[in-house]
Each structure stands twice: as C-alpha cells, then as structure tokens.
Amino acid sequence: MAAARARFRSLAWGTLAYTVLVILFGAVVRITGSGAGCGQHWPTCHGEVVPISPTIETVIEFSHRVTSGLCGIIVLALLVAALRGFPRGHAARLGAWLALVFTITEALIGAGLVRFGLVGDNDSVARAIVMAAHLVNTSLLTGALALAAWAANREPGQARGGVSRRVRWLVWASLGGLMLVGISGAVTALGDTLYPVEAGALSERLQRDLGAGAHFLQRLRLMHPVLACGLGFFTAVIAHHLGNAAAPAVRRASAWVMILVFAQLAAGVLNVMLSAPGWMQVLHLGLGTALWVAAVLFSLELLHAQAGPDGHPRPDR
C-alpha cells in the first residue's frame, strides 16, 4: 500500500508539472495568434482529424490540442490510481476527482473559444470574459492537482487542525486576492496581444492607453499592476504573519509564497519596462502559476496545522 501511495504521489506531481507546461504552451498559442489555426472547427482541425499541409499556426494550435488531450488521459489515470490507493472520503480522491472535472471544463472553454470565434484578432468583451474564466479554471485545475499530491502523504481521516476562523478567513482572502490578480492579468495579456505595447516613456504610454478612442482592453491595462502590487503584498504579509512562528512545513511553504510574490512583482515590472515581449509573458505566467500552487500548498498546510489557544498554528507540530 505504501508503495502504491508513493507511486500516486509521483504521478500527481508529474501530472501537475505536465499541466503547467500545457498552460504555458497555451500562452504561446495566444502570443503567436494561432488560436484560429484549426479554423472554427473543434474537435477536428479544419474538418480533418490530422491536418494535411498545415501552416505554422495550425501546427501550434494542433500541438496544443494534442498535448492538452494527453493531459486528460493522464488525469484519468490519476483518478484510477486514487480510487485504488485511497479509501472513500480521502482528500487524494477529492483532488483527483476535482482535477478530472476541471480538465473537462478546461476542454469545454477551449472548444467554446474556437467555436464562437473568440480567437485571432477578436477583441470583444465576450472574449475577455472567457479568457478570465479560462484563467480561473486553470487555477482550479492546478489547485486540485496540488491537493491530490499533498494529500498522498496524509493518513485517512487525519483530523483538520484547529486554526481559528480569522486565520481561515485570511487564508481564503489571500487565495481570492491572487485569483483576482490572475484574472486581471489574463485580460491584460489579451490586450497586450491584440494591441501590442508601443515602446516609449511610461507617461506617453499611459496617455495613449487612457486617451480618447482607446479600446477597453487598453484602458484596463493599468488595473493589473495596481491590483497585483496591493494584493501581492497582502499575500506576502499574510504568509509571513501566519507562517512565521508555525511548524517547519508551514514555515517552508510560507517562505516559498513570499519568495515567489517578490519574484513575480519584479518580473511584472520588467514585463512593463520591456513592453511585454512573448518570452517575458511566458515567464510571468510560469511564475504566476508557481506562486498560485505555492499559495494552495501553504493554505493546505496551515488549515491542517495544530493550533494553539489563540487559534494560530503552533510552532511544534
């Protein structure tokens, strides 16, 4: 049984790592304008199962479909392993079930983007909303996989810790805040793809973005850095405040959250200074995903830590 659980744990971490690569490849599809590489056809590509004489955009879009389809198969294998290795009600099963649900909804959102023509140079409000929903779904998917991997080490029925309602509220508030930052980032990324940032002084760029005739995606550009600085610092402060005097596992997770918040804030500033080149967008999304996963793991450690009389996690367990 112990060997089966160790195998499940490796499979869960491997699935998470592979899913992150697929997410980053999704950004490459957007950046290269390849979302319409298979026309408005889904699941076929230009009406064919395998495209014949494809363009570069078709190769990129088709590869994204194949690699994300493979993700579905791996998540299904993870669920089978969870059902075999863990009893009913175990958190590893919950994580694997949720991962399957969010993989299916991810495929539906991707299909919706293609079937409703929300690709290429479409700059509608509908596309911005679906891109935001896409970001929420990928965050829930990586969160579910992190839960499955984390739970593999836990005994069935292992009790939750007794942290106070205030601590739980702070944990959920910082996760919600990060999700909001991600959503605003996804909308900014769409704006940067459709209305590439022109080089120039920051004040000139701001004037252009907020001036008469600017598209709503340009007007929203300022929102993400403002939200990211405020909510990013909030997340780092919460991680420090709740993780500082806690058990080693909580402290380690809190240190990762703080490191990744500051790395991501620095990457965001660099992104703006360099006018968001494609490679920087991929790096920024990668760091953002790593930060989200670290925040989920920190929250899980914290919510299951044993608490002292003040409701805060205790340093010894």
In whole angstroms, what is the distance from residue 161 CA to residue 53 CA? Answer: 58
Tell me if 182 contacts ligand HEM by CB under 6 A.
Answer: yes
Q: What is the DSSP letter of 307?
A: B
Single out the residue of 114, 228, 250, 294 in contact with ligand HEM (rule: CB under 6 A).
228
Residue 34: Cβ within 10 Å count: 22
**Using an 8 Å Cβ cutoff, are 247 and 235 in contact?**
no
| HEC secondary structure over 229-246 | HHHHHHHHHHHHHHHCCC
Tell me if 269 contacts ligand HEM by CB under 6 A.
Answer: yes
CB of 231 or CB of 250, closer to ligand HEM: 231
CB of 35 or CB of 232, closer to ligand HEM: 232
Single out the residue of 90, 93, 127, 224 in contact with ligand HEM (rule: CB under 6 A).
224
CB of 25 or CB of 97, closer to ligand HEM: 25
Single out the residue of 90, 127, 205, 284 in contact with ligand HEM (rule: CB under 6 A).
284
Single out the residue of 51, 281, 302, 304 in contact with ligand HEM (rule: CB under 6 A).
281
- Alpha-carbon radius of gyration of the chain: 21
Tell me if 218 contacts ligand HEM by CB under 6 A.
Answer: no
Strand partners, 45: 48
Coil/strand/helix, residue 250: helix
In whole angstroms, what is the distance from residue 103 CA to residue 247 CA? Answer: 34
Q: Which residues bind ligand HEM (CB under 6 A)?
A: 27, 178, 181-182, 185-186, 188-189, 192, 224-225, 228-229, 232, 261, 264-265, 268-269, 271-272, 276, 281, 284-285, 288, 291
